[in-house]
Structure 1
Amino acid sequence: MDLEAVRTFAAIADAGQFQKAAADLSITQQAVSKRIAALESSLGVRLFTRTPRGAELTIDGQAFLPHARDLLRAAERAVASVRAGRRPLRVDVIASRGAASGLMRGFHHAHPEIDLDVVMLLDIETAVASIRSGEIDASFRAVAAPGRYLPEDIESVRVLDEPLQLLAGSAHALAAARSVTLTQLAGHRIWMPGIVPGSEWAAYYDDLVAEFGLTIEATGPNFGSDALLDTVADTPALATFMGEHTRLVWPAGHGLRRIPVTDPTPVYPHSLLWHRDSPHPALATLRAHLTATTATTATTAATAGDDTAGTWVPGWVTPR
C-alpha cells in the first residue's frame, strides 16, 4: 500500500478539505486528488464524499481511518528503529551475567534517557562484522587474540581488567584458603566447559595454562552455568575460574567458595569496540561513562606478563 497516499488520506480527514490538505502536505491539490483516486481504486471503495463544506468521510472511509493511522505510526517506528539518534543504542555483551552486562546496567542507571538494545553474540568475527554493517553499535571483547587483527575502521579501548577468582566446592582441597596463588593451582583440575576454540577467551586461557602450568579441562557438553555450579559443588576434585564481576546465584546448600587468585592475579581485559564512523550520538556518552566508571576500579596492566601491580595478562593484550 502506498504510504504517501495513506498519509494524504489522513491529512484530508484531519483538514476536512482537499485544498487545505494539499497546503499542509506542500503538494498541489491535483496531486492530492490523484493519490486519493489511486488509493480508492486499490481498495475498491469510496473514501470521501465531496460536499459544499468540503470532504466528508464515507462509512468505508471512517472504517479505514484508524487503520490508516496505525499504518503511519508503524512506518514512523520502522524508520526510527534504524535512524541513529532515534533508535536504541545496540551493544553486544557476550553473556547476560558477565562484567560487560554489569557495565551496561550501570550505564543505564546513569543515563535512563538513552534507549538500549543489548544483544549477545558468540564470537568476535560476528561482532566485528555486525559493527561494520551497522547491525550493532559496539561490542565488549578481549582484543586481540594472537594472529587476529581488527579492521582499520574498528576502534577499541580497554575499559576494564577483571580479576579471576577460583570457584570451588566446600570439599575442595583449597576451599578453606583465603586466597590461592597460581603456583598452588598447578596440579588441580579446573573445569571450564564451553570454551570455543579460536575465540579470544580460549587464547587467553591457553596462554594462562602455558605460562603457569595449569590444567584447564573444557571437556563435556556445555549445559550452562547452573550445571557447571552443580558439578563443581558435587565434585571435590573440580574447580573453575570465574570473573570477579560475574553475577551468579546458587543454592545455599552448594557451599561454593569464591577464592581470590594472587601472585600474580590474572585479569581478563575487557575492551569496547566500535566503528570509527559510527553515527549514533549515544556512543560517545557510553565511552565517556566507561572511562569515568572504570578509572577507579580497573586494575592497571601496563605491560604484558607480570606487571608491577601484581597482575597478569597475555602478551598479545593491548596495553592500557
Structure 2
Amino acid sequence: MDAEALRTFVAVTETGQFQAAADELGISQQAVSKRIAALERHLEVTLLVRTSRGSRLSLDGQVFLPYAKKVLTALERAEQAVRPGSRPLRIDVLNRRIAPAQAVYRFYRSHPQMNLDAVTLSNENAAQAAQAVLEGTVDASFRALPAEQLPAGINAERLLDIPLELLVGPAHPLADAPRARPADLAGHRIWIPGIRPGTEWAAFYHALSKDFGLSIDALGPNFGDEALMDALADSASLATLVGSGDRYLWPQTYDLRRIPLHDPTPLYPHVLLSRSGVQHPVLTALREHLRTAGPRTPDDVWVPDWVTREQMTDLTDTP
C-alpha cells in the first residue's frame, strides 16, 4: 500500500477538498485524484464521495480513516527512530577500563546533550568487531586492525594512540625509575592476563616482544584486574603494561608505580571503525573531539610493522 496515497487520503478528509489537500501537500489536484483513485482500486471500495461542496467520507472511508492515521503515525515514528541523531550512537569500547572507554566518557562529560550508548563486544576480535560495525550491530568500534584486513564499506580513522606504561609494585627493580626504555624491560617477566590468540592485542604484544626481546605472557588463570593488582603489589619481579589513559584502581597501601616508557615510546594504535557514509551527528562530534582533545603524540614512537606508512602519516598530521 502506497504511504503517499494514505497521506493524501487523510489530507483530503481533513481539508474537505481535493484542491485544498493538493495545496497542503504541494502537489497538483490531478495528482491527488490519481492517488485516491489508486488507493480505492487497491482496496476495491469507495472511500470518498464527491459532492458539489467538495468530498465526504463513505461508510467504508469512515471505517478506514482511523487505521490510515495509525499507519501514518507508525511510519513517522519509524522514520524518526532511525533519522541521524534520533537514536543513541552505539559504540564498542572493548573494555571499560581502557583508554577508548575513558575517551568516550570524557567526550560525554563535555557534551552531556549527546545521545550515545557504550557497549563492549568483549568476545570479538578486531575482524569480528569490524563485521559487527558493517552489519550495524554497533555504529563504531575502537580496534587495532591492519589496513589490509579492513572489509569494504568500513571507514578507519586512527584517532587515539595511547602510550604504554609499565606498572609494577614497590619492590620491583624499576619501581623508582622516572622513565624506562622498552629495552630496559628485557629479562623482566611482564604478565598480561587475558591475551587470547587471534586478537589484535595478542598480535600487538607479540610484535612488541619480538622487537625488544621482552618476555610477555598470559600464563595462569585470569581472575580479573583486582587479582592482577594484588599480584603486582606482592611481587618483586612481576610487571604489566597499561595504557597511559587506562583507569585502574588499587588500595593506597599497594603503592603501585606507573612508569612511562620512552626511547622509543610504544603506542597502542586505537582505530575508530565506522560504516562508510554514516552521518550520525554524535559520531561526527566524537571524531572532532578526539582530533582536538586527544593525547599529544611523542616524537619518538614505536608501533607494530602492520601499522602502515599511511597510518603513520595520518598520525603525524593529526593535531
TM score, norm. by length of structure 1: 0.72
In structure 2, runs of 5+ residues without a counterpart are: 1-9, 16-20, 22-46, 49-56
1:278-314 per-residue CA deviation (whole Å, 9 max, x = no partner) reads 14233222212221222xx2315xxxxxxxx222111
Deviation at 1:261, TM superposition (A): 1.5
Q: Is the 8 A contact 1:160 1:298 kept in 2?
A: no
Cα pair distance change 1:201/1:74, threshold 3 Å: farther
Instruction: Give the 5 Å matches for 1:70-89.
Output: 81-89=81-89
Look up the match of 1:273.
273
Match of 1:133 in 2: 135
1:23: which partner in 2? 14
Partner of 1:226: 226
Q: CA deviation at 1:209?
A: 0.3
For each residue in 1:196-234, what CA deviation from the matched residue of structure 2 results, as whole angstroms up to 9, or x when unmatched? 211111111101100110000111222221111111112
- Residue 156 (structure 2) pairs with residue 163 (structure 1): no
2:304 is the counterpart of 1:314: yes
Contact 1:141 1:270 in 2 (8 A): yes
What are the superposed Cα offsets for residues 118-153 of structure 1, whole Å, 9 maximum, x if unpaired? 1111321232122111221111111328xx510121
Tell me the SS of whatever aligns to 1:121: coil
Which shifted more, 209-218 or 174-183? 174-183
C-alpha distance 81-136 of structure 1, shift in aligned 2 (>3 A): farther
Partner of 2:120: 120
1:74 CA drift (Å) = 10
Contact 1:162 1:298 in 2 (8 A): no
Amino acid at match of 2:297: T
1:49 — aligned with what?
Answer: none
Shift of 1:32: 6.1
Q: Which amino acid aligns with 1:299?
A: T
* Shift in alpha-carbon separation, 1:252–1:278, aligned structure 2, 3 A: same
Aligned runs of 1:1-320 on 2, under 5 Å?
A: 23=14, 29=57, 30=59, 33-34=62-63, 81-122=81-122, 123-144=125-146, 149-294=149-294, 297-299=295-297, 309-317=299-307, 318-319=311-312, 320=315
Q: Tell me, what secondary structure is at the counterpart of 1:250?
A: coil
**How many angstroms apart in 2 are the aligned matches of 1:223 and 1:116?**
30
Query: How much does 1:193 deviate?
Result: 0.7
Report the TM-score, using the length of structure 2 for normalisation.
0.72
Which has the larger share of helix? 2
Q: Secondary structure at the match of 2:149?
A: coil
Q: CA deviation at 1:180?
A: 1.6
How has the CA–CA distance of structure 1 residues 77 and 220 changed in structure 2, closer, same or farther, with 3 Å as cutoff?
A: farther
- Residues in 2 aligned to 1:166 and 1:279: alpha-carbon distance in whole angstroms: 39
Across the aligned residues of Structure 1 and Structure 2, the Cα RMSD in angstroms comes to 3.2
Identity, in percent, stands at 45
Instruction: Measure, in 2, the Cα distance between the counterparts of 1:260 and 1:37.
Output: 68
- DSSP 3-state at the match of 2:261: strand
Secondary structure (helix, strand or coil) at the match of 2:121 reads coil
How far did residue 160 of structure 1 move? Answer: 2.0
In terms of mean alpha carbon deviation, does 217-226 or 182-191 score higher?
217-226
Instruction: Kindly indicate whether the alpha-carbon contact (under 8 Å) linking 2:94 and 2:142 is maintained by their aligned counterparts in 1.
Output: yes
* Contact residue 159 and residue 298 of structure 1 kept, 8 A: no
Letter in 1 for 2:264: P
Give secondary structure in 2 for the equivalent of 1:155.
strand
